Amino acid sequence: MNYKIINGTLLTHTEKGFEIEKKDLYVAEGKIVDPARCEGWKEGGYETVDARDRLVMPGLINMHTHAYMTMMRNYADDVDFDEWLFKRVMPVEDQLPQEAAYWTSLLGCMEMIQTGTTSFADMHMFCGQSPKAAKEAGMRAFIGRGLVGDDLYGDGAGRFKEALEEKAAYESEQIRFILSPHAIYSCSARLLEQVADEARKSDMLKQIHVSESVAEVENAISKYGKTPVKLLKEIGFLDEKTIFAHCVQMREDDMDILAENHVHVVTNPASNAKLGNGFAPIVEMQKKGINVCLGTDGTASNNTLNMFREMGLLSLIHKGIHKDSTAAPAQFVIGAATVHGAKALGMEGKLGVIKEGAYADLVFLDLKAASLYPNNNILSSLCYSANGSEVESVMIHGKFVMKDRELLTIDKERVYSEVNKIVEKYL
């Protein structure tokens, strides 16, 4: 289906940053097009969408999550990190059957769609389930099977093989794959080296958790004599196709290394605060020219996949830390949730923007929601007053997955019923 979207207020992006524009928008074959230059465009051969009183913005990109964990929402809170991980989260993961991960990933997709996320980068443990859920939901996903172990010929082999098989089985224009070694404390240096080699050979992105906690950095120094960032540099892991999640406990020279090597950073403010890991030095990284993206992490540590909540947090936390009301401004925050993610994913100009040739991943917000009213400054409102509930319709790859708050790809009651059974059995 082709679409002509009329009367809308658009959030567009130029080299000067985001701005608000009123103009019509044309969608054909999954992309935003200029009808004058689009062969597939015929007058009358489209459906008209009236976007009066709506903001049409690019879909948000959640750059770090674990969708399969969504059933653990609000399951282990106000406890210390060791109890959280070893007594609550891991025992559940260890006994969860494959299919459970499908239903709980679908629950995650549902919440993401409802709150305006159209793309997500996922690290998982259950092959095939996250791609299946993302595909059914009609989302765009960049998925990696979490890798751990000693090396690709030892106990790291199984998961690595699974990761490549998953890519072969599920890769498509909307579902792509990332190599996702878990962390330097769960992967040997040898395995990380091999993953970096494989990524270069097969031209794949890599994502890894880095310097999330004080303990991780202290243990790295005690085991390797250096910080996780320096270890990864030595291994040859760093390049412009590398994405580091967290980066909370960073030294000055760690940040310089990331900047020099064009590594992308995903900050997860809710998760880092909630687990007591602290606040990442985002303002400092931004000043060094590091590309900072935004993610929610999984619901077991957030406890929501709502990127609007995350955007507000990102700005408020860093304004508070720096005692500077101009720190982490709305322009930066919206960028972190859109164009910065697109850049990290190698999708500049394709995702996170409304422009000719970009994928038609569009979110329609109700500008008459009380939280946005009056519409004094729409850019500000996305960062400081929106809560995600303003999202009414969501289009991904030119197809509506939610229209006027009705989910078109997900059977909510079925998902709830299946997730309930899993919760009753395993939590």
Question: Which residues ranging from 135 to 174 are in contact with a second copy (CB under 8 A)?
Answer: none
Binding segment for a second copy among 94-102, 175-183, 220-228, 318-326 (CB under 8 A)? 318-326
Query: Binders of a second copy: how many residues, by CB under 8 A?
Result: 72
Shortest distance (Å) from residue 216 CB to a second copy: 13
User: Nearer Cβ to a second copy, position 329 or 346?
Assistant: 329
Q: Answer yes or no whether residue 51 interacts with a second copy by CB under 8 A.
A: no
CA 336/CA 292 separation, integer angstroms:
6
- Read out DSSP for 400-420? EEEETTEESS--HHHHHHHHH
User: Nearer Cβ to a second copy, position 43 or 326?
Assistant: 326
Residue 274 sits at φ, ψ, to 5 deg, of -65, -40
* Range 181-220, binding a second copy (CB under 8 A): 214
x/- track of binding to a second copy for residues 361-380 (CB under 8 A): -------x-xxxxxxxxx-x
User: Nearer Cβ to a second copy, position 188 or 377?
Assistant: 377
Check if the beta carbon of residue 66 is closer than 8 Å to that of residue 78: no
DSSP one-letter code for 346: T
Binding segment for a second copy among 16-24, 118-126, 223-231, 315-323 (CB under 8 A)? 315-323
* Range 265-284, binding a second copy (CB under 8 A): 269-270, 272-279
Shortest distance (Å) from residue 13 CB to a second copy: 18
CA 267/CA 47 separation, integer angstroms:
39
Give the rounded distance of the alpha carbon of 135 from its chain centre.
16
User: Nearer Cβ to a second copy, position 75 or 185?
Assistant: 75
Sequence-distant (≥ 6) Cβ neighbours of residue 169 within 8 angstroms? 128, 131
How many CB atoms neighbour CB 356 within 10 A? 13
Shortest distance (Å) from residue 208 CB to a second copy: 22
Q: Answer yes or no whether residue 303 interacts with a second copy by CB under 8 A.
A: yes
Q: Answer yes or no whether residue 420 interacts with a second copy by CB under 8 A.
A: yes
**Which two tokens mark 416?**
């709830």
Q: Answer yes or no whether residue 17 interacts with a second copy by CB under 8 A.
A: no
Q: Determine the Cα angle at 270 with ends 266 and 271, to 5°.
A: 75
Residue length of the chain: 427
Q: Which is it for strands 264-267 and 242-246: parallel, antiparallel or unpaired?
A: parallel
- Candidates 320, 355, 406, 414; binder of a second copy (CB under 8 A) is 320
* Range 64-123, binding a second copy (CB under 8 A): 71-75, 77-81, 84, 107, 110-111, 114
Binding segment for a second copy among 150-158, 220-228, 254-262, 415-423 (CB under 8 A)? 415-423
For 103-212, strand residue ranges (E) read 117-124, 140-147, 175-181, 205-210
CA 410/CA 427 separation, integer angstroms:
24
Q: Answer yes or no whether residue 16 interacts with a second copy by CB under 8 A.
A: no
User: Nearer Cβ to a second copy, position 306 or 409?
Assistant: 306
DSSP one-letter code for 262: T
Q: Is the dihedral of CA 181, 125, 363, 304 positive or negative?
A: negative
- Candidates 12, 190, 349, 384; binder of a second copy (CB under 8 A) is 384
**Which two tokens mark 218?**
């202290």
Q: Answer yes or no whether residue 349 interacts with a second copy by CB under 8 A.
A: no
Q: Answer yes or no whether residue 299 interacts with a second copy by CB under 8 A.
A: yes
CA 62/CA 269 separation, integer angstroms:
13
User: Nearer Cβ to a second copy, position 224 or 426?
Assistant: 426
